[in-house]
Amino acid sequence: MTLPAVKVENLSYRYPSSQAPALKGVNLEIGRGETVLIAGRSGCGKTTLARCLNGLIPHFHGGEISGKILVNGANPLTLPVWKTASSVGMIFQNPESQIFTLVVEDEVAFGPENLALPRTEISKRVDWAIAAVGLSRLKKKHVFELSDGQKQRLAVASALSCLPDILIFDEATSNLDKKAREDFLVLLTELKRRWGKTIILIDHRVSGLENVVDRVVLMENGSIAASGGRSILSDDRIVRKFGLRGCVFEGNPVFSPPKSAGEEIIEARSASFGYAGGFALNNVNFSIYRGESVAITGGNGSGKTTLLKLIAGLLKPGAGSIRLLERDTRKGRWNELSRVASVVLQNPDRQIFMNSVYEEVAFSRRIADPGKPSEEMVEKILFRMGISEIKNRHPHSLSQGEKQRVTVASAIAKRPDVLLLDEPTSGMDGYHLGLLIESLAKLKKDGLTIIIASHDAELLFKLCGRFFVIENGKVYETGGSLSNHMKFFCSQ
Partner 1 sequence: MSSPRGLSGLFRSRESSPVRFLSVETKMFHLASVIILSFVVRSAGCLFLLFLSTFAYSFFARSLRAHFFIVKRMIFFAAVSVALLAVVIREPAYLAGTAVRILARVFIMSSAGILFAATTSPTELIRALDTLRAPKTLIFPITVAVRFIPAIVRETGEIADSLKLKGISVGFFDFLRHPGIYYRAIFMPLVIRSISISDELAAAAEARCFGSPLKRTFLRRNKVSAGDFIFVSAMTLFLIGLIILDGKIRGVF
Cα distance between residue 262 and residue 417, in whole Å = 13
Q: How far is the CB of 133 from partner 1 (least distance, A)?
A: 15
Residue closer to partner 1 (CB basis): 37 or 453: 453
Residue closer to partner 1 (CB basis): 5 or 345: 345
Cα distance between residue 119 and residue 116, in whole Å = 9
Q: How far is the CB of 284 from partner 1 (least distance, A)?
A: 17
Q: How far is the CB of 49 from partner 1 (least distance, A)?
A: 15
Residue closer to partner 1 (CB basis): 35 or 152: 152
Give the end-to-end CA distance of the chain in Å, rounded to a whole number: 40
Beta carbons of 264 and 287 less than 8 angstroms apart: yes
DSSP-based three-state secondary structure for 65: strand
Q: How far is the CB of 198 from partner 1 (least distance, A)?
A: 16
Q: How far is the CB of 393 from partner 1 (least distance, A)?
A: 15
Cα distance between residue 370 and residue 426, in whole Å = 33
Residue closer to partner 1 (CB basis): 70 or 79: 79
Residue closer to partner 1 (CB basis): 144 or 383: 144
Q: How far is the CB of 475 from partner 1 (least distance, A)?
A: 17
Beta carbons of 164 and 155 less than 8 angstroms apart: no
DSSP-based three-state secondary structure for 97: helix
Residue closer to partner 1 (CB basis): 170 or 224: 170
Q: How far is the CB of 260 from partner 1 (least distance, A)?
A: 28
Residue closer to partner 1 (CB basis): 224 or 325: 325
Q: How far is the CB of 352 from partner 1 (least distance, A)?
A: 7
Beta carbons of 408 and 385 less than 8 angstroms apart: yes
Could you tell me the CA-to-CA distances from 53 to 26, 34, 79, 82, 428 in Å, in that order? 12, 16, 11, 13, 24
Residue closer to partner 1 (CB basis): 268 or 312: 312
Residue closer to partner 1 (CB basis): 350 or 445: 350
* DSSP states of 113-129: HHTT--HHHHHHHHHHH
Beta carbons of 248 and 45 less than 8 angstroms apart: no
Element (H, E) at 319: strand 319-324
Neighbours of 163 (CB within 10 A): 16
Residue closer to partner 1 (CB basis): 318 or 480: 318
Q: How far is the CB of 230 from partner 1 (least distance, A)?
A: 27
Angle at 237 between CA 236 and CA 239, to 5 degrees: 65
Residue closer to partner 1 (CB basis): 352 or 435: 352
Q: How far is the CB of 227 from partner 1 (least distance, A)?
A: 26
Could you tell me the CA-to-CA distances from 340 to 77, 259, 419 in Å, in that order? 55, 19, 9
Neighbours of 76 (CB within 10 A): 26
Beta carbons of 158 and 129 less than 8 angstroms apart: yes
Cα distance between residue 69 and residue 76, in whole Å = 7
Q: How far is the CB of 178 from partner 1 (least distance, A)?
A: 14
Cα distance between residue 225 and residue 220, in whole Å = 6
Residue closer to partner 1 (CB basis): 233 or 428: 428
Burial category of 229 from C-beta neighbours within 10 Å (exposed 0-12, middle 13-18, buried 19 and up): exposed
Angle at 228 between CA 41 and CA 76, to 5 degrees: 70
Burial category of 441 from C-beta neighbours within 10 Å (exposed 0-12, middle 13-18, buried 19 and up): middle
Cα distance between residue 6 and residue 97, in whole Å = 27
Q: How far is the CB of 253 from partner 1 (least distance, A)?
A: 23
